[in-house]
Amino acid sequence: MELTTRLTQTLGLCHPVISAPMAFAAGGALAAAVSRAGGLGLIGGGYGDEDWLEEQFRLAEGERVGVGFITWSLQKSPALLTGVLKHRPAAVMLSFGDPRPFVDEIRAARAVLICQCQTIDHVRDALDLGAEVVVAQAAEAGGHGALRGALSFIPEAADLIREQSACACLVAAGGIADGRGLAAALMLGAEGVLVGTRLWASAEALVHPRHHDAILAAGGDETIRTSTPDIARQLPWPTGFSARVLQNTFTRRWHGREDELRRAVAEEGPRYREAAAAGDPEGTAVWFGEAAGLIREIRPAGEIVEAMAAEAARLLGRT
């Protein structure tokens, strides 16, 4: 069942659902499955690996997909954008940094510019740049983000867009895992949703089975916002952003002791990376958000998208 909004019209979708470009988890198979189901799948550009990106676009070949980048990291290797634009992505999403250096190249490739925002100032900036799609990412989201809650941030962003740039489409992100969340986002003024955690818990996501087991056993109360994974990985995330991950042995040991972790990183960094490679859900970050409490099973991504849209349509009386 199609749920038509300005987002579906702008992007040529059946359902107003975009998959989040989750670093290391959102590969070509996941993006293709979401697009095949009527949404828009985004490949996660992450911190930039040219060979990996080429492989993921190959896996998604034949489907209309997009890509997303961590903007401050892309600034270190801007040729990555040039490389992926050769694949003619439907959209490019930029998050966590100044998108200005990349806007002209994205527009020249005729890709839709998506800017993910965590504050109203970020939204104003995206509108000034003429972004076609603005994502209001709330604090409930897994992975990196900031502190705004969805119930106030989404309508505030919607009001600003209505006043300043009515052509832009607002997309809600953070804590959305089913049709109830999609319907609520539309009622708050969004034109669609960006889904991370629920699609992280899908059959096509590049997630270790032990991490999938961890989300099925967890609730939303068992996540935490912390900078400890970035310290362990020695990734220089900008001030104001932290990661929402599962509370586990690693976070309980180091959250609140960040300075000690920095001093011990020569020993703790390799230990963290070994745990990540082994899929150890206690010794490394497990990247999901508060929507964990709404997830009961690992399902194919296409089924998740279709069920979400159908439930939202029913709740909104559009059946």
- State the DSSP code for 238: P
Same domain, 60 and 134: yes
In this structure, what token pair is assigned to residue 169?
């489409």
Same domain, 170 and 285: no
Same domain, 130 and 266: no
Instruction: Assign residue 53 a region (left: φ > 0; alpha: ψ between -120 and 50; beta: otherwise).
Output: alpha
Same domain, 73 and 106: yes
Same domain, 43 and 136: yes
Domain with 34 in it: what CATH number? 3.20.20.70
Domain that holds residue 278: 209-290
The structural domain count of the chain equals 2
What is each CA distance from 191 to 106, 172, 197, 279, 297, in whole angstroms?
Answer: 22, 8, 19, 36, 27
Q: At what angle do helices 120-128 and 150-164 cross, to 10 degrees?
A: 30
Show the CA angle centred on residue 51, arms to residues 49 and 115, nearest 5°: 45
Average pLDDT over residues 247-268: 98
| Residue 6, burial from CB neighbour count under 10 angstroms (0-12, 13-18, 19+) | middle
pLDDT tens digits, 123-173: 999 999 999 999 999 999 999 999 999 999 999 999 999 999 888 999 999
pLDDT tens digits, 31-90: 999 999 999 999 999 998 999 999 999 999 999 999 999 999 999 999 999 999 999 999
Same domain, 179 and 286: no
Same domain, 310 and 236: no
Same domain, 162 and 238: no
- State the DSSP code for 220: G
Q: Is residue 203 scored above 80 in pLDDT?
A: yes
Total Cβ atoms within 10 A of residue 217:
11
| Rounded-to-integer distance, Cα 66 and Cα 49, Å | 16
Q: Is residue 19 scored above 80 in pLDDT?
A: yes
